Amino acid sequence: MRVQVYDTTLRDGTQREGISLSCDDKLRIARKLDDLGVAFIEGGWPGSNPKDVEFFSRARDLPWNHAVITSFGSTCRVGGRPGDDPNIAALIDSATSVCALVGKTSMFHVKEVLRTTAEENLRIIRESTAYLVQRGRRVFYDAEHFFDGFRLDSAYALETLRAAAAGGAEILVLCDTNGGTMPWEIAEIVSHVREGTAVPLGIHTHNDAECAVANSLAAVREGCIQVQGTINGYGERCGNANLISVIADLTLKLHMECLPEGNLARLMDTALYVAETANLSPDGHLAYVGKSAFAHKGGIHVAAIRRNPDSYQHCDPALVGNAMRVVVSELSGRANIVSKSEEFGFENVDTTRIGAVLDQIKALEAKGFSFEAAEASVALMMQRQQEKYAPPFELIDLTVNVEHRDGRGIFAEATVKLNVAGNVIHTVAEGNGPVNALDTAVRKALTPVYPKLSSFRLADYKVRILDGANGTAATTRVLIETRNGTRRWSTVGASPNIIEASWRALADSIEYGLTSNA
């Protein structure tokens, strides 16, 4: 069985709080979705805003390899005719071959929202659908609040579907608009509807009860041929069905076709691209495509996957474009350290040194360090266990002063004394804060000896207070991310003294960058 993937990221997804896409953003995402191979891309609601009108104007002149661009709109107004309705006219003007038309299914909405009669609602559904079909458009009818409406008045909910079918709708899409229906209810209702109509069914679910993906799969198992949703589950309130998970589940678990052959491996890249374009941080814990989806931290888990990766993975991460990762922490065992040693390129590390690194990690994490997101610090521990390893510099002394001077306000000054290959280098520098002054002083000392350092950029500096009940005496954890071109690495420090914690993370970041291929 082949299932149509209908993506509504550009319409429903943009209703998520915090997302605002430009027309160029929408076109770029549409191109990425087309490359992934979805069947339909809903570009927006042309009757609602100028941006969507521009999108359809520009999209119609672009080549699309896999996807059909669709437009979205609602039935004509109560008491009106489709030919006089500006919303229907906008759908025609969008020039898409497919129009998604939404109408009311629930008597609650007919009475309380439309404030009209059951018969009038059926008329506007039927006539709006027929008007678009008569003008050469394929119509997918979105039965809004279908499952709530079915529970309230099943006979009337089915009448609304018949009205859309009478108008010529090609697919009847059953919508769990409020997102509160359970998977077993979805299955039962879809099965009932399928027995009573010859028109193919689709499913559109929201995630307010954390069941959108499960509900979509349940509907497909009962015969729905189209699944609507958004990339990463973006959408209003709690979001829509996450198409990334739906696609992976359909392909790998239900063994159904929904993408062109070979395109499943593009899932992770697509998920990250859409998040980046939407200016949202990728969710590292998303199924299949999250950074942590195939990350292994527990010692017994890592020991097992070194013997057979399938022991703690439900599928091969490469199938969806992801990769297995090993994380080190106080929960690690020797297998974690061996795996990281191999990952960092250290060969034939003996068990004594592995044990020493593991003991060091556990001891430091007990003091507030966390190495899950600071793999460069772990790599340095391993490097320092090598017999011939010589650090590029060693700290002798450091001093940091923060002063208020009349006319200058608050400023900081740092002094560092370093041993660099047997030579003592003593420098001083000012900064807008103590860490900036310290960073500047170290760079001033080391850059003449290691010119490579001039290309290192501090990309991120995070501070976390670990035991806030201790007030200003609390332990502080500092995580520093450093960038050199496209390479990034993270290091960590922790101490009740924020300057000491910052120095540990800063020194590690520089040492790692100078001694690795960063």
pLDDT at position 74 is 96
Cβ contact 104:110 at 8 Å: yes
Residue range 141-166: mean pLDDT, rounded? 97
Lowest mean pLDDT among 48-57, 73-82, 401-410: 401-410
Specify burial of residue 356 (Cβ count, 10 A radius: 0-12, 13-18, 19+). middle
Q: 354 or 101: which carries more pLDDT confidence?
A: 101
pLDDT at position 469 is 65
Model confidence at 334: pLDDT above 90? no
- Structure tokens, 329: 């922490």
Model confidence at 170: pLDDT above 90? yes
pLDDT at position 460 is 85
Lowest mean pLDDT among 134-138, 308-312, 443-447: 308-312
pLDDT at position 271 is 95
Tens digits of residue pLDDT in 111-121: 998 899 999 99
Alpha helices in 288-331 (DSSP H): 299-307
- Structure tokens, 76: 């004509």
Model confidence at 452: pLDDT above 70? yes
Band of residue 381 on the pLDDT scale cut at 50, 70, 90: confident
Alpha helices in 11-135 (DSSP H): 23-36, 50-59, 86-93, 107-112, 118-134
- Secondary structure string (H, E, C) spanning 129-175: HHHHHHCCCEEEEEEECHHHHHHHCHHHHHHHHHHHHHHCCCEEEEE
Q: At what angle do helices 243-252 and 212-221 cross, to 10 degrees?
A: 40
For residue 70, the cross-strand partners are 42, 98
Cβ contact 305:312 at 8 Å: yes
Model confidence at 488: pLDDT above 70? yes
In sequence order, which residues have a C-beta less than 8 Å from that of residue 364 and are 6 or more positions away? 371, 494
Residue range 337-359: mean pLDDT, rounded? 63
Model confidence at 204: pLDDT above 80? yes
Cβ contact 194:225 at 8 Å: no
pLDDT at position 383 is 78
pLDDT at position 305 is 65
pLDDT at position 424 is 92
| 425: phi then psi, degrees, rounded to nearest 5 | -115, 130
What CATH number belongs to 4-277?
3.20.20.70
Model confidence at 351: pLDDT above 70? no
Q: At what angle do helices 183-195 and 212-221 cross, to 10 degrees?
A: 30
For residue 204, the cross-strand partners are 175, 228
- Structure tokens, 397: 């002394």
∠ Cα 378 382 388 (to 5°): 145
Band of residue 347 on the pLDDT scale cut at 50, 70, 90: low
Tens digits of residue pLDDT in 212-248: 999 999 999 999 999 999 999 999 999 999 999 999 9
pLDDT at position 372 is 67
What is the Cα–Cα distance from 29 to 14, expressed in whole angstroms?
A: 12
Domains 4-277 and 394-515 alike in fold:
no
Band of residue 480 on the pLDDT scale cut at 50, 70, 90: confident
| 429: phi then psi, degrees, rounded to nearest 5 | -155, 155
Residue range 174-189: mean pLDDT, rounded? 97
Model confidence at 373: pLDDT above 90? no
Model confidence at 503: pLDDT above 80? yes
What CATH number belongs to 394-515?
3.30.160.270
pLDDT at position 380 is 78
Residue range 392-416: mean pLDDT, rounded? 85
CA trace torsion 82, 83, 84, 90 (10° rounding): 80
Answer positive or negative: Cα dihedral of 7, 12, 13, 14. Answer: positive
Average pLDDT of the residues of the chain = 88
Model confidence at 300: pLDDT above 80? no
What is the Cα–Cα distance from 53 to 90, expressed in whole angstroms?
A: 8
| 360: phi then psi, degrees, rounded to nearest 5 | -65, -45
At residue 461, the 3 state secondary structure works out as strand
CA trace torsion 419, 421, 422, 423 (10° rounding): -60
Residue range 270-275: mean pLDDT, rounded? 94
Tens digits of residue pLDDT in 6-58: 999 999 999 999 999 999 999 999 999 999 999 999 999 997 889 999 999 99
Model confidence at 127: pLDDT above 60? yes
Candidates 240, 233, 205, 208; CA nearest to 220 is 205
For residue 398, the cross-strand partners are 416
Candidates 244, 152, 143; CA nearest to 203 is 143
Band of residue 63 on the pLDDT scale cut at 50, 70, 90: very high
Candidates 167, 224, 178, 233; CA nearest to 201 is 224
Model confidence at 333: pLDDT above 60? no
Q: What's the pTM value of the predicted model, to 2 decimals?
A: 0.76
Model confidence at 357: pLDDT above 80? no
Cβ contact 200:150 at 8 Å: no
Cβ contact 260:292 at 8 Å: no
Lowest mean pLDDT among 366-370, 399-403, 459-463: 366-370
Cβ contact 237:212 at 8 Å: no
What is the Cα–Cα distance from 277 to 336, expressed in whole angstroms?
A: 35
Instruction: Break the chain into its structural domains and give their ranges.
Output: 4-277, 295-366, 394-515
Cβ contact 484:518 at 8 Å: yes
Model confidence at 365: pLDDT above 90? no
pLDDT at position 105 is 94
